[in-house]
Amino acid sequence: MLQRKKQRISRKFTDKSDLFDGLPEDLVISILSKLASSASSPSDFINILVTCKRLNRLALHPLVLSNAGSKALAVKARNWCDSAHHFLKHCINAGNVEACYTLGMIQFYCLQNRGSGASLLAKAAIKSHAPALYSLGVIQFNGSGGSKNDKDLRAGVALCARAAFLGHVDALRELGHCLQDGYGVRQHIAEGRRLLIQANARELASSLNALVKRKPQQQHQRRLNYQHYSFKAGSGCPLLSDFGCNVPAPEVHPVNVFLKEWFESGRGALGQGLRLCSHKGCGRPETRAHEFRRCSVCGTVNYCSRGCQALDWKLRHKAECGPIERWLEEGGNGDDGGHGGVGEMEEVVEAEHFAI
């Protein structure tokens, strides 16, 4: 009697364990693909790999790897290793465009493998990956990885135009400044201003969408009026305040976080005289001395692009910027040097300057 009871119990457990094994593989792969695309961190995906042998095998299916999102690929700089490198390569081989962009940026700026990094960025750009197009545009504007003679302003404008067409806000802002200043393209101030307003409008729409997607229990705390967007100074999006709104700053792409952590943690050493872009959400380093343009008013900050300077201006630098002579005086007056807008930028040695 007791033996029969044990057999019944064991049969129940066996039946339960067979339920998962009985699921069709294409169904499991479809579910894993959605999980990979919506994962909020790499650990969400890694937890699947260590669950059981079958999930480990199916989670590495090309269809799953091709759908892995940017957050699933957001490896930390302190955790970078050969395994992370190989995983990104597996995703690239599966056709993951986001992995192409992520590894391309890491190889170009962090591992200093310029050729391979640029090739991966180009591969992603060919597939209409907007951040890759914009990053290649920044490389062309600065001649990154080469000499100052390697700069191609027209190519940079063309790449930004394509990224802006795909909805990339930073590229739209960069293109607007280029048109305003006649930088790499014929000057058209009105059109440039229109693109800058459009970039701000898209930032506002993106912020409102993020608010709508919050959890239901937070809905009653939301008040869609101007007071709702009033945050502490410096916590909001720096440009939208020009048009009467102050919303949370846009989320930084994981690869930009990686670049910043890589160099600030000392994992990667900057060469002598090389600097990081002063915008905290960028992380791009110089690849040669005086590659980035600096603020001609104070000379203490430098930026890889007009877009980064415009973002950093009202977020932080407007309160700090002042004539260089001010820093030599004790107990300065604390103003912004009489500067009503974003400071001019100049490129050291090349004497190239522009205004935003």
Residue 355's pLDDT is 35
* Number of domains within the chain: 1
What average pLDDT score do residues 131-144 get? 95
- For residue 238, being part of any structural domain is answered with no
pLDDT surpasses 80 at 187: yes
Residue 220's pLDDT is 47
CA distance 78 to 235: 27
**Higher-confidence residue: 116 or 270?**
116
- For residue 299, being part of any structural domain is answered with yes
CA distance 36 to 43: 11
Residue 347's pLDDT is 40
pLDDT surpasses 80 at 45: yes
Reported as a single tens digit per residue, the pLDDT across 74-125 is: 999 999 999 999 999 999 999 999 999 999 999 999 999 999 999 999 999 9
Query: Is the separation of the CB atoms in 356 and 306 below 8 Å?
Result: yes
State the pTM of this model.
Answer: 0.79
pLDDT surpasses 60 at 336: no
Residue 326's pLDDT is 53
Cα 220 from chain centroid? 31
Give DSSP secondary structure letters for 136-201. Answer: HHHHHHHTTTS-GGG--HHHHHHHHHHHHHTT-HHHHHHHHHHHHHTSSS---HHHHHHHHHHHHH
Among candidate residues 311, 312, 308, 330, the one with its CA nearest the CA of residue 320: 312
Among candidate residues 281, 287, 222, 225, the one with its CA nearest the CA of residue 253: 281
What average pLDDT score do residues 37-52 get? 87
- For residue 45, being part of any structural domain is answered with no
pLDDT surpasses 60 at 333: no
- For residue 91, being part of any structural domain is answered with no
- For residue 351, being part of any structural domain is answered with no
> How confident is the prediction for the chain on average, in pLDDT?
80
Range among 29-43, 125-139, 168-182 rated most confident: 125-139
Query: Is the separation of the CB atoms in 141 and 154 below 8 Å?
Result: no
- For residue 81, being part of any structural domain is answered with no
**Structural domain of 285:** 254-319
- For residue 4, being part of any structural domain is answered with no
- For residue 295, being part of any structural domain is answered with yes
**Which of 134-148, 286-300, 320-334 is predicted least confidently?**
320-334
